[in-house]
């Protein structure tokens, strides 16, 4: 039985000062490269604009995206070649995952404020 292709994480930090259409173009082209190299995109996560842990090229924030895909060992190199020379990419990293890891948490939902129904209401104050 042939072995299944490994799963990879592509963590992509895009420049917030680049135009929205440029950031969308970079993301779409990365997905196209993955699919043209017979990779299967398992999941896509848009984590929005976040502060970076340290300054990268005089920038303190970036638009975070996580793409999980399955493919052969040539796929990370192909997408890496494109991202290395593209304007609007602050940083990227491709990581090969071990089998059996839990799914990625939805960080957008974790940062949203809790619904008002979940917060206790203040008790009325009696005046004497």
The average pLDDT across 81-105 equals 84
For residue 84, give both structure tokens.
Answer: 């290395």
Class of domain 7-98: alpha beta
Domain boundaries, the chain: 7-98
What burial letters (b/e) apply to 16-41, b meaning 16+ CB within 10 Å? bebeeeebeebbeebbebbeebebee
Phi, psi of 93 (to 5 degrees): -150, 135
User: Mean pLDDT across the chain, nearest whole number?
Assistant: 81
45, 6 in Cβ contact below 8 A?
A: no
State the pLDDT at residue 94. 93
The average pLDDT across 30-53 equals 90
Of 90-94, 105-109, 121-125, give the range with the top mean pLDDT: 90-94
Helix (H) or strand (E) holding 79: helix 74-85
């Amino acid at each position: 039985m042939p072995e299944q292709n490994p799963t990879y994480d592509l963590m992509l930090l895009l420049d917030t000062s680049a135009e929205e259409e440029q950031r969308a173009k970079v993301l779409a082209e990365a997905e196209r490269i993955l699919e043209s190299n017979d990779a299967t995109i398992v999941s896509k996560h848009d984590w929005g604009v976040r502060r970076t842990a340290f300054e990268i090229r005089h920038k303190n924030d970036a638009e975070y995206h996580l793409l999980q895909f399955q493919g052969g060992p040539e796929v990370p190199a192909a997408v890496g070649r494109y991202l290395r020379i593209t304007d609007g990419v602050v940083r990227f990293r491709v990581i090969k995952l071990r089998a059996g890891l839990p799914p990625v948490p939805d960080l957008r939902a974790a940062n949203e404020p809790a619904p008002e129904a979940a917060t206790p209401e203040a008790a009325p104050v009696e005046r004497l």
